[in-house]
Amino acid sequence: MIIRNGQVFQEDGTFRREDIYIDGNHRITDSEDKVTDKTEINAEGLLVIPGLVDIHSHGAYGYDFSDGDAEGLKEILRYEKRSGITSYCPTSMTLPRERLEKIFNSINDAGTGEDMAAVRGINMEGPFLDPKKKGAHVEEWICRPDAEYFRELNRLSGNRVKLVTLAPNMDGAMEFIREVHDEVCISLGHTGAGYDCSAEAMKLGAHHLTHLYNAMPPLAHREPGLIGAAVDDPQCMAELICDGYHIHPSAVRIAFRLFGPERMILISDSMRAVGMEDGEYELGGQKVIMKNRKATLEDGTLAGSATNLFDCMRKAVEFEIPVDQAVFAATRNPAKSIGIYDQVGSIRPGKEADLLLVTEDLELKKVI
């Protein structure tokens, strides 16, 4: 396949008019001579950006990864692909161990398909959380950080776990970081940890934040907390739910200024209601009510989002984040955070030809 005349997003954040050549293995190549399928797409007047990478999403289109149903996961992956998300990390919830074992094992039967986003790993959100900052997780299933528990779930999944959320203020958390930080990206979150505790965790090797601002203490001038420690750690990358409900537009702009365009990661944190009508749904064993794209528990607690990552990226631009920074936060940065930037996240020869054709207003026209 050949894509001609598009304004192609470059690794330096600029757009340049050029042709893209795709070989028979769905990889970008540097020569038209290496293209076997000579089908041409005219991208005149369109931007060409990398396929999006969502590293934190629980579900979509009526299904949830925590259902433990491979057929349901396939439907999620189909929805994500047609929505512009080509790389995906299904994300678990805090649930009983026997259920988590079934869920993590189910990913082995999801398979692949041209109409599906590629599973790039699992995001393990829970059960190693702080009950006081549990958010939409069920407190009775929260437990002490346990390296062997994590390793067993990882083994059942075929060693696909890329991220694990950890509350660093819980007993055993520092030992957990010491033991597994070379095996998985440890993401700090769902915690009431202060600055010193958080900074210690980062020094031990935890360099990621689970949904910045949400389920953590606020940044205060005398108690900077987890957020202050993360800003101070140049290796720490921070997830951000930019659905228009979780975070005020000003706080979104502040986050991008604090962390810079290299360290911000847009996520959807979507649950099964995304792509569906208003109504009642379920997340982590609790009833969720969605109204006007806002998902909450019965007590009003936000329960994930009902927005996909592509729409979160558009919302970031609506909130005055520069287009290049928003695209990086939905492509390059998440890919780097889980170690797959050599495969996806930018447009260059040798990488997967995961491409989106969009208008200048970021309206999705075609997924390659």
Q: Average pLDDT over the chain, rounded to whole? A: 96
pLDDT of residue 282: 84
Tell me: do 259 and 187 sit in the same domain: yes
Peptide bond into 127 cis (omega under 30): yes
Alpha-carbon distance of 245 to 48, in angstroms, equals 29
Tell me: do 99 and 189 sit in the same domain: yes
Tell me: do 112 and 219 sit in the same domain: yes
Instruction: Give the model confidence (pLDDT) of 349-360 as tens digits.
Output: 999 999 999 999
Tell me: do 4 and 56 sit in the same domain: no
Residue 4's alpha-carbon distances to 17, 22, 39, 45, 215, in angstroms, are: 9, 11, 11, 11, 45
Residue 35 belongs to domain with CATH number = 2.30.40.10
Tell me: do 158 and 259 sit in the same domain: yes
Tell me: do 136 and 225 sit in the same domain: yes
Tell me: do 163 and 305 sit in the same domain: yes
Give the ranges where the chain is alpha helix by DSSP (H). Answer: 70-82, 97-106, 147-156, 173-180, 195-204, 225-232, 249-259, 309-318, 323-330, 332-337
- How far is C-alpha 152 from the chain's CA centre? 23
Tell me: do 124 and 231 sit in the same domain: yes
Tell me: do 338 and 324 sit in the same domain: yes
- Nearest Cα to 26, choosing from 34, 18, 14, 15? 34
Would you give per-residue pLDDT tens digits along the chain (368 residues)? 999 999 999 999 999 999 999 999 999 999 998 999 999 999 999 999 999 999 999 999 999 999 999 999 999 999 999 999 999 999 999 999 999 999 999 999 999 999 999 999 999 999 999 999 999 899 999 999 999 999 999 999 999 999 999 999 999 999 999 999 999 999 999 999 999 999 999 999 999 999 999 999 999 999 999 999 999 999 999 999 999 999 999 999 999 999 999 999 999 999 988 988 889 888 878 888 988 878 888 888 888 888 999 999 999 999 999 999 999 999 999 999 999 999 999 999 999 999 999 999 999 999 99
pLDDT of residue 293: 79
Residue 80 belongs to domain with CATH number = 3.20.20.140
User: Which residues participate in catalysis according to the annotation?
Assistant: 269
pLDDT of residue 126: 95
Q: Per the structure, how many domains does the chain have?
A: 2
Structural domain of 352: 1-49+346-368
State the pTM of this model.
0.95
Tell me: do 295 and 318 sit in the same domain: yes
Tell me: do 222 and 164 sit in the same domain: yes
